[in-house]
Amino acid sequence: MTDRSRREVLGALGAAGLAGVAGCASDGSSDDDSSESVGSCPPYDPTVSPTAGWTTRLGGRRGTSTVPANAMPGPEPSRDWTFEFDTAIGYHTPIVVDGTVYVSDLDTTMWALDAASGEVRWETSVPEYPGAPAVADGTLVYFADQDVRALDAASGETLWTALETGGRLLDARPVIADGTAYVQVGIATYALDLTTGETEWRDATGLPSEVTPAVADGTVFSGGDDTYVRALSTADGSQRWRYKAGDRIEANVCVAGGRVFAGSRDGIVHALSAADGSRQWSYRLPKDEGDRPEPETVTSDGSRVYVLAGGKLHTLAAADGTVCWSRPDLSGSYNTGLAVGDGRLYVPTDRRETQFATLDPATGERLGTWGSPTRTSRAARQSPTALRTSAGEPASRGSVERR
C-alpha cells in the first residue's frame, strides 16, 4: 500500500465523526465485544467497486462509504500530524482528494492541507458558516451562507457564485459527477455546470429536502420532506420514477448493487430497485426505550447495508434486509458516518468523543479500538491514516489529525 493511496482514506475516516474523523493511536483498550447477531445472514461478499478519494460526505458520488483495499489503513492507525484551529469546528467532514485535505471551520475560513505533512497549501476567507464541500475535477463546491460557490481546488480562488439558498450549514451536501454539481436547495434539485455555475436543469420536490443525493449510471437519486425518493435523469432532470415512503426521507440516499437505500423518519430503511423504484424490501428499526430511532446514516458495500441510528449500528443483508448483526455501543448523530473496505469497518464509538472502533463487517466482531482525548498537545503532531476534528458540540478550538 502506497503512502498516497493510504491517505485517500482520510476522508473516509473523516466521515466517521460528528466533526470529522479520528485517526489516533491505539489506546490498548480491551472493550468487551457486544455484537448482537440476529437471523441467518448470507455470506459476506461485497460487490461495490470503490473509487479513490473521499470527494463528498459519504465517500464518492454513490454515497457508499467504501474505500479501495490499497487505501485502507491498518486496524490500529497511528497519528501522523495535527492541524490546530483557533476557531470553532465541530461539524464538518473533511474531504480528501489527490493528496489534499479540504476542511473548514464554523466561522469564515477554508483550508487545503497537504495530506502527507499537514502543511497549509492555501487558506481562503469564505462567507460565514460554510457548508462541507464536494471536490472533483479540480473544483471545490460548497454551500456558503446564502448561495452556492465554487473554488479552484488548487489555489482556493473563487470561480463562481450561483443560486440563493438562504443558508445551508446543516443541510444536504453537494455531489459532483461528470462535470456537473448536483445540489438540493429549498424545494428543488439543481444540476449546475461545474465550470460556470449555470443551472443546467431544476426539478421541484414539493417540500424542502436536506438529503445528500447520490449519482449513479446517469441518474440522480434524492429524497425529501415530501416523503418521496426520486430518480432523475442526469441529462435533463426528467423523472424516471418516484417511490413514496410513509414519512419524511431525512437520511442520505445510497446506491449499491442495483439497489437504492434510504431511511425515513418513521424508522424504516427502504431498499428499492435502482432501475424502476420498485420496493425490494423494507426494515423497521426496533424501538429503543419506547422510541423508534430515525436512520441517520445509510451506506452499503453491496453485501451489507449499514444503518447508524440512535447510537446503534444495524447491519442488514443488502439482498433481502435480513438482520445480520447489530451493536449498541456505537455513536450515531446528525453527521456520523463510517468507512468500509478490505474486510474492515471503521465506526465511532460513544465511549469517548474521539474514540473509534475497527469491526469485522461480516460478523460485527471488534478488531480494535483506537482514539485519543478530545484535546491533544502540539507534541502529538508526529506520527498515518485517519483524520480527526474535535467531535461533539462546536468547541472554542479544534484540530485535524492524519493517521
Q: Note the pLDDT tens digit of each residue in 184-216.
A: 888 899 999 999 999 999 999 888 888 889 999
Q: Answer yes or no: is pLDDT of 162 > 70.
A: yes
Residue 244 structural domain? 3-402
Question: Phi/psi of residue 150, each to 5°?
Answer: -130, 140
| Count of domains forming the chain | 1
- Contacting residues for 49 by C-beta, under 8 A, at least 6 apart: none
Per-residue pLDDT, 218 = 97
**Residue 6 host element (H or E):** helix 3-7
**Highest mean pLDDT of the ranges 6-10, 40-44, 144-148, 375-379:** 40-44
Per-residue pLDDT, 36 = 59
When pLDDT is cut at 50, 70 and 90, the band that residue 264 belongs to is very high
Per-residue pLDDT, 332 = 52
Domain of 24: which CATH number?
2.130.10.10
Lookup: cell for 265: 423518519
Q: Note the pLDDT tens digit of each residue in 14-33.
A: 433 322 332 332 333 334 45
Q: Length of the chain in residues, anyone?
A: 403
When pLDDT is cut at 50, 70 and 90, the band that residue 299 belongs to is very high
Cβ–Cβ < 8 Å for 83, 113: yes
Instruction: Tally DSSP H helices, then E strands, for the chain.
Output: 2, 32
Lookup: cell for 361: 463487517
